[in-house]
Every structure is written in C-alpha cells, then in structure tokens.
Copies of this chain bind each other. A is one copy, B any other.
Amino acid sequence: MDIISQEISVPSDGFSDIKNITDQVTAFVTESGFEEGIIHIFPIGSTASISTIEFEPALVQDMQDKLEEFAPHNQTTRHGETWGDDNGFSHMRATMMGPGITVPLHEGKPVLGTWQQVVIINHDNRSRERRIFLQVMGK
C-alpha cells in the first residue's frame, strides 16, 4: 500500500463552466502503476466542484442552466454587498455541491460508467486556472 499525489491546473471559463478531466485522471492512475485503490480528486479553492456527468454539450448546457436557476449569477448577496465580491452565487453553488469526489480503481483503471466522465466546474465569475489535487492510494 502506498500513496502518490500530483497537482494539476485546468484552464476554465467562469459561471459554472464544466471541463472534462477524465483523461488527466486516467493518465495519473496509469503513470502511478496502482492496480487497486482509490483516486481522490479535490478542487483547491471555495468556488469549484468536482462531480461526474455524461459529458456531451447539450447536457453540459442543461446543467449550467440548472445551476443558474439554483443560484442566479445576478442575485444580490450579503457577500457581494459586504465585500464588493460579486461571486456570492459561485460560493453557494460550490458549497451545495461539495468539493471533491473519490473514484475507485480496479485492475489499474478508474471504475466509471461508459457515459460517466469526471469534471471540474468553475463556478467563479471569471476565467481561472483551477488547481486540482489528485491523490492515488492503494497498491
């Protein structure tokens, strides 16, 4: 049993832009040489989330619309009024969804459905290089 980690950086637009990071996740698992275990995928920062989705453009847009419905980007917030930081909606989306996810590894690969991709969602109100911490634990 051992553990290996790596930080990656993913460019993304704001307002819950959704980027597919399955290739980076799979590549890190392959390089690590682990056969059985977990990979934990954690977004560094309080305005991003990791989740899984069938990554196709129509559904990605549906999901962004749903997040906009849940916490509209132009909603007045105490956070915005107090700090002049107009990303209160970003924080609420991120805290509701939660930060990272864990994916099991089996026979050297992440265990995922055929149409289940790992994504980072940048809820912030601007383009950002999102930092993601990948950590493989197992054998």
Oligomeric state, in copies: 3
Which of B3, B58, B71, B138 is close to A82, meaning CB atoms less than 8 Å apart? B58
Q: Is A52 an interface residue (CB 8 A)?
A: yes
Number of interface residues of A (CB under 8 A): 58
For the complex formed, measure the closest distance between the CB of A125 and the CB atoms of chain B, giving whole angstroms.
14
Q: Is A126 an interface residue (CB 8 A)?
A: no
| Contact call B100/A102, Cβ cutoff below 8 A | yes
Interface residues of A (CB under 8 A from B): 1-3, 5, 36-38, 40, 42, 44-46, 51-54, 56, 58-59, 61-63, 66, 70-71, 77-79, 81-83, 88, 91-92, 94-104, 106, 111-113, 115-117, 131, 133, 135, 137-139
